Amino acid sequence: MDGIIALYKDQGMTSFACVNRLRHVLHEKRIGHAGTLDPNVDGVLPICIGKATKVVDFLHEQPKTYVGELLIGEATETEDLDGQVIATKQVTAPIGDQFLQQTMAAMTGKLTQVPPMYSAVRVHGKHLYEYARAGETVDRPKRQVVIDSFKLVSSTYDANNGQQRVRFKVQCSKGTYVRTLAVDLAKNLGYPGVMSSLTRVASGGFTIDQTISLQDVDDLVASQMISNYVLPLAIAFEDWQQVELTADQWQAVQHGGWLTVNELPANSQERVALFYHGNIKALYYRADQQHYKPLKMLAVN
């Protein structure tokens, strides 16, 4: 079996656990996911099967979209509701939508993030959460991320508890810690904050309305209908320029040969997806002014 399943990951499961279960159900060892979701985050988890595991990195590099909620007025050690409360501050008056929108807009573009201590990032061979659970702290590697958009969906003020809940939608690059972004929003507003919920609604070119659950997979395998929901590998490259090869070009590509710019359509993009007889075969990129060379071979026959 080769292809991609747009999986809906439930809360409470790790991404790795989803992959393990699918290996068992589908009887396929070559399975990988394109972009880890924390256990308390649900939503789109693209799953690559068989030969499609070759394109995991290409799916992972695409922007991701989340909807979530920030609770303003308290903070936890994990930046989500799983951790112990470490700070509180009463929100004594509602934070206006205009101020929220202005603050969120200022947090778009290129940002530098420090991964939270409760994360799977490895430092000196250990996950950060292992240090955190042992009560240790270490220097964490900074990372550059891109926030394409950070929008206010709704806001609700709770006068009784002195808190405010902010629903948001964010589109961002791979590697972004959305809970850290949400907590930083609260800090920029002058309060502690905690991400109270998060759902990934788009990833790898797939949206949440295209997903199927693990239970769906079980049922589809039992009814021998699962093949109808395993999407072809080429679907991951619908936004790429697609070039149909001639027989001579395909023979060269089969052996990793370069192509000249004159062999491709005029004004070809920097990266192209090469097809032969309607089937995707390889990904090429422009190496210099005159040549395209292999980026990834996907099939040799």
Q: Please name every residue paired with 9 in a beta bridge, in sequence order, or none if there are none.
A: 43
Cβ atoms of 208 and 199 within 8 Å: the answer is: yes
Among residues 10, 38, 209, 219, the one annotated as catalytic is 38
> How far is the C-alpha of 22 from the C-alpha of 31, rounded, in Å?
8
> How far is the C-alpha of 41 from the C-alpha of 159, rounded, in Å?
28
Four-CA torsion 144, 149, 155, 159, nearest 10 degrees = 20
Residue 2 annotated to the active site: no
Helix (H) or strand (E) holding 221: helix 214-222
CA dihedral for 115, 116, 117, 118, sign (positive or negative): negative
Token output for 235 = 């679907």
Helix axes 15-26, 214-222, angle to 10 degrees: 0
Token output for 202 = 């788009």
Active site residues: 38
